[in-house]
Structure 1
Amino acid sequence: MTQVDFARPDAAGIDEPVPSRYALKVGDIDVLVISDGVLPIPPATLATNAPAAELKAWLGDMYLPLESINWPLNVAVVRSGGRTVLVDSGLGTEFPGFPRAGQLAARLDAAGIDPASVTDVVLTHLHMDHIGGLLVEGLRGRLRTDLRVHLAAAEAEFWAAPDFSRTDMPAPVPDVLRRTASRFLDVYRGQLWPFEKEYEVAPGVVIRRTGGHTPGHSIIRLESGGDRLTFAGDAVFQCGFDKPDWHNGFDHEPEESARIRVRLLTEMAATGEQLVATHLPFPSVCHVADAGSGTFRFVPVVWDY
């Protein structure tokens, strides 16, 4: 199980005109953010409780189209203390309507990362765009048999009988989410390491349940040598900085999601730590600034070449 330098993989990789991975360090912890691609969603999904005119104005200010927007999908590979941790797994390839997503397997290969070197998987939650990659035969069959899959116990319990009554998703999505989560739990049940509130997966790598987006939604906090980074999963979306009270259509507990988002962004603005989130523009590595009046500012880091 060769350990490959994230910044200088041994594999020749794929010559891509647009980069799909970004390496950084958090103290002694190595982090590689990988783009799983993008998937189209209706803009209204970003703000189900906002007036249409306010959403339209925000989309215009961000130079985003009104009909359909591309939602980035970011995952991460983290190395600490001899363990290699995959954080979420993207969409997978079983959804033909999203041909530009589900790139994880190919991009692990391009980065020179052998799936058999992954010791742990950490899941923020069980929506299909976070677990689908682990169901792809081209990746699943290459994982080690003693792989540990960490998720909140509340998340596994929720998907036994999921409640979509407070979500606002396109019509076919709830059934697809339900089927995908059920299949995932059937496939990986024997490898699950559920936790209640938080669990240290590797030195300085802690998964912590927040709830909100789903009852067991979790974030991953990295801390080493005085440096900190949080992988926030779906706790923060692109509009969540200046419009933190907007409800996302995929939120199972919309009001709680907004409260969690404000608490998290307030904390990060105070500490100055780095943030990565699933649906922020790749590579999504940023700082959070307090913009006053309960709003925040996305401050992207300068790429370190």
Structure 2
Amino acid sequence: MFSLETTANPIPPALDELVPSRYALKVGDIDVLVVSDGVLPLPTQMLGHNAEPAARAAWLEDMYLPQDAFDWALNVLVAQSGDRTILIDAGLGLDPDLQLPRAGQLIRRLEAAGIDLAAVTDVVITHMHMDHIGGLLVDGVKERLRPDLQIHVAASEVEFWKAPDFTHTNMPQGFPDALRATAKHFWAEYSRYVRTFEDEHEVAPGIIVRRTGGHTPGHSVVRLASRGEALTFAGDAVFAVGFDQPNWHNGFEHDPEESARVRIELLQELAGSGEMLVATHLPFPSIGRVAVDGDAFRWVPVFWDF
């Protein structure tokens, strides 16, 4: 178990940690910790491969971002509701073949936050891309997890990865093979822990996972709600460019048209409710709200609470 009191600074930060890597908040009675798994450098074309190059270049310039590649944030959520400790996604893990030394930091950062892997009762996987399941495949992690752990994944996601279709994606060379291999490895290691659901499932009091599809057929979002407050972890339904350009297609989307529909619908919901949003690839700690801005949307980051 954890609480805001025990995760503030239980262990002095390492000298190589020059920026914060976790942020704690409460959603009603639910304790929430956003943990950075690091960053993943990718070509900027991945933000909108259906966009005109000039339009994409203009957006990057307006955002003071480099034109060739930039760092995608990798955010993971830990939530405590009642006697359940829920890990929402598991980061990229540590694969030396990927040569991504600034990613795969989740396990050591959980340890630095004083969170024992044996205390985790549930894992929710928004989808089975390698940057959401890889942390569970780090050497020694499985042995530290409890034998009654439950891993919640949409049934359609499990079915998809039996024979995944990449025909509508636009990924750098090597990524499809790496994604297939990681999903296969995950299933081989953890299938007996997996509990599938069809459309919606309550993982713990106030914590509901809901399948949206789009990014992958079983892609899901997680809503945490307690005492009139709510936060949605959107997984890969929302990217930084998606507020200004919600119809741009991300290179990892297996159904780009459906992904855009899901993204717009979710952003409209959140703009209407004023509830908080966290997403995997928004800049850490990625906590904010959504406002309507003409035909698009506007990201409203929260002011940090110290």
Structure 2 residue aligned with 1:45: 46
Matching of residue 69 in structure 1 with residue 64 in structure 2: no
Q: Distance in 1 between matches of 2:172 and 2:2?
A: 41
SS at match of 2:133: helix
Matching of residue 137 in structure 1 with residue 139 in structure 2: yes
Q: Distance in 2 between matches of 1:124 and 1:232?
A: 8
SS at match of 2:77: strand
Structure 1 residue aligned with 2:199: 197
Match of 2:175 among 173, 176, 187: 173
CA drift of 1:4 comes to 3.1
Q: Paired residues, what number?
A: 302
Q: Distance in 2 between matches of 1:6 and 1:87?
A: 17
Q: Distance in 1 between matches of 2:140 and 2:3?
A: 23
Give the alignment of 1:150-299 within 5 angstroms. 150-293=152-295, 295-299=296-300
Q: Distance in 1 between matches of 2:147 and 2:173?
A: 37
Structure 1 residue aligned with 2:32: 31
Matching of residue 18 in structure 1 with residue 19 in structure 2: yes
Structure 2 residue aligned with 1:5: 3
Query: C-alpha offsets along residues 227-269 of structure 1, whole Å, 9 cap, x if unaligned?
Result: 0100000000000001000000000000000000000000100
User: Which ranges of 4 or more aligned residues in structure 1 deviate by more than 3 Å?
Assistant: 6-11
CA drift of 1:138 comes to 3.3
Q: 1:165 to 1:105 in 2, by over 3 A?
A: same
CA drift of 1:97 comes to 1.5
Query: C-alpha offsets along residues 200-234 of structure 1, whole Å, 9 cap, x if unaligned?
Result: 00000000000000000000011100001000000
- Asked whether the 8 Å contact 1:6–1:111 carries over to 2, the reply is no
In structure 2, runs of 5+ residues without a counterpart are none
In structure 1, runs of 5+ residues without a counterpart are none
- Asked whether the 8 Å contact 1:123–1:149 carries over to 2, the reply is yes
Using the aligned pairs only, state the percent identity. Answer: 61
- Asked whether the 8 Å contact 2:4–2:24 carries over to 1, the reply is yes
CA drift of 1:7 comes to 4.0
Q: Distance in 2 between matches of 1:41 and 1:138?
A: 28
- Asked whether the 8 Å contact 2:3–2:80 carries over to 1, the reply is no
Structure 1 residue aligned with 2:84: 83
SS at match of 1:137: coil
CA drift of 1:6 comes to 3.2
- Asked whether the 8 Å contact 2:2–2:80 carries over to 1, the reply is no
Q: CA RMSD in A?
A: 1.0
Q: Distance in 2 between matches of 1:216 and 1:30?
A: 27
- Asked whether the 8 Å contact 1:39–1:98 carries over to 2, the reply is yes
